[in-house]
Chains A and B, each alone.
Chain A
Amino acid sequence: MQLTDDQIRQVMPHLQRFALWLTRNPHSAEDLVQNCLTKALTRRPDNAGAESLRAWLFYRQFIDGERRRKRYMKLLSFFTGEEALSDSSESLAIADDTLALFATLPTEYRVILLLVSVEGLSYKEVAATLDIPTGTVMSRLSRARKMLHEKLEGKVTPLPLRRLK
Chain B
Amino acid sequence: MTLPPDEHDLHAWMDGETDEATSKRIEHYLAQNPAAAAQVAGWRRDAQQLRQAMQQQHVQLESPEPHYFRRQVRQQRQWKLATAFALVLALSVGGFTGWQMKESQMLMTHQPMEDAVQAYKLFDNSAVTPMDVVATQQTELTRWVSRYFINGHQPPNLEQYGFTLVGGRLIATAQGPAALIMYQGPSGTRVGWYIRPLSPVKLPHGERQADDVMAQYWSDEHYNYALVTPMNSAAVNGLRKAVSQATS
Pair B61/A20 contact, Cβ less than 8 Å: yes
Q: Chain A, 1-45, contact with B by CB distance < 8 Å: what is the 0/1 string?
A: 001010011001000110011000010011001100110011000
Bound-state Cα–Cα, A59 to B49, Å: 25
User: Is B50 located at the chain interface by the 8 A CB criterion?
Assistant: yes
Chain B residues closer than 8 Å to A113, beta-carbon distance: 47, 50
Bound-state Cα–Cα, A30 to B68, Å: 14
Q: How far is the CB of B23 from chain A (nearest CB, A)?
A: 15
Bound-state Cα–Cα, A2 to B107, Å: 58
Q: How far is the CB of B184 from chain A (nearest CB, A)?
A: 78
Pair A12/B63 contact, Cβ less than 8 Å: yes
List B162-214 residues whose CB lies under 8 Å from chain A: none
Total number of A residues with any Cβ neighbor in B under 8 Å: 39
Pair A96/B57 contact, Cβ less than 8 Å: yes
Pair A99/B43 contact, Cβ less than 8 Å: no
Chain B residues closer than 8 Å to A38, beta-carbon distance: 69, 72-73, 76
Q: Chain B, 62-102, contact with A by CB distance < 8 Å: what is the 0/1 string?
A: 11101101101100110000000000000000000000000
Pair B59/A41 contact, Cβ less than 8 Å: no
Pair A8/B66 contact, Cβ less than 8 Å: yes
Pair A41/B50 contact, Cβ less than 8 Å: no
User: Is B31 located at the chain interface by the 8 A CB criterion?
Assistant: no
Which residue of B is nearest A141, CB measured?
B11
Chain B residues closer than 8 Å to A122, beta-carbon distance: 15, 17
Pair A142/B7 contact, Cβ less than 8 Å: yes
Pair A117/B69 contact, Cβ less than 8 Å: no
Pair B62/A30 contact, Cβ less than 8 Å: yes
Bound-state Cα–Cα, A148 to B46, Å: 7
Bound-state Cα–Cα, A138 to B7, Å: 9
Chain A residues closer than 8 Å to B61, beta-carbon distance: 16, 20, 26, 29-30, 33
Pair B12/A117 contact, Cβ less than 8 Å: no
Bound-state Cα–Cα, A16 to B64, Å: 12
User: Is A118 located at the chain interface by the 8 A CB criterion?
Assistant: yes
Q: How far is the CB of A141 from chain B (nearest CB, A)?
A: 6
Chain B CB count within 10 A is highest, among A3, A30, A98, A123, for A98
Pair A149/B70 contact, Cβ less than 8 Å: no
User: Is B28 located at the chain interface by the 8 A CB criterion?
Assistant: no
Pair A94/B57 contact, Cβ less than 8 Å: yes
Pair B11/A21 contact, Cβ less than 8 Å: no
The one of B8, B54, B69 in contact with A21, judged by C-beta atoms closer than 8 angstroms, is B54
Chain B residues closer than 8 Å to A34, beta-carbon distance: 64, 69, 72
Chain B residues closer than 8 Å to A123, beta-carbon distance: 12, 15, 17
Task: Take A30-B61, A38-B69 as given contacts and tell me if A142 and B11 are in contact as well, using a CB distance cutoff of 8 Å.
Answer: yes
Bound-state Cα–Cα, A10 to B61, Å: 15
Pair A41/B43 contact, Cβ less than 8 Å: no
Chain A residues closer than 8 Å to B63, beta-carbon distance: 12, 16
Bound-state Cα–Cα, A41 to B53, Å: 32
Chain A residues closer than 8 Å to B12, beta-carbon distance: 123, 138
User: Is B51 located at the chain interface by the 8 A CB criterion?
Assistant: yes
Which residue of B is nearest A113, CB measured?
B50
Chain A residues closer than 8 Å to B5, beta-carbon distance: none
16 additional A-B pairs beyond A8-B66, A20-B61, A98-B50, beta carbons within 8 Å, are: A9-B66, A17-B54, A26-B59, A33-B61, A41-B70, A42-B77, A102-B50, A113-B47, A113-B50, A117-B46, A117-B50, A123-B15, A138-B12, A141-B11, A145-B47, A148-B46
- Contact surface of A with B, Cβ cutoff 8 Å: 3, 5, 8-9, 12, 16-17, 20-21, 26, 29-30, 33-34, 37-38, 41-42, 92, 94-96, 98-99, 102, 113, 116-118, 122-123, 138-139, 141-142, 145, 148-149, 152
10 contacts between A and B (CB under 8 A): A9-B66, A26-B61, A41-B72, A96-B53, A98-B50, A99-B50, A117-B46, A122-B15, A138-B8, A138-B11
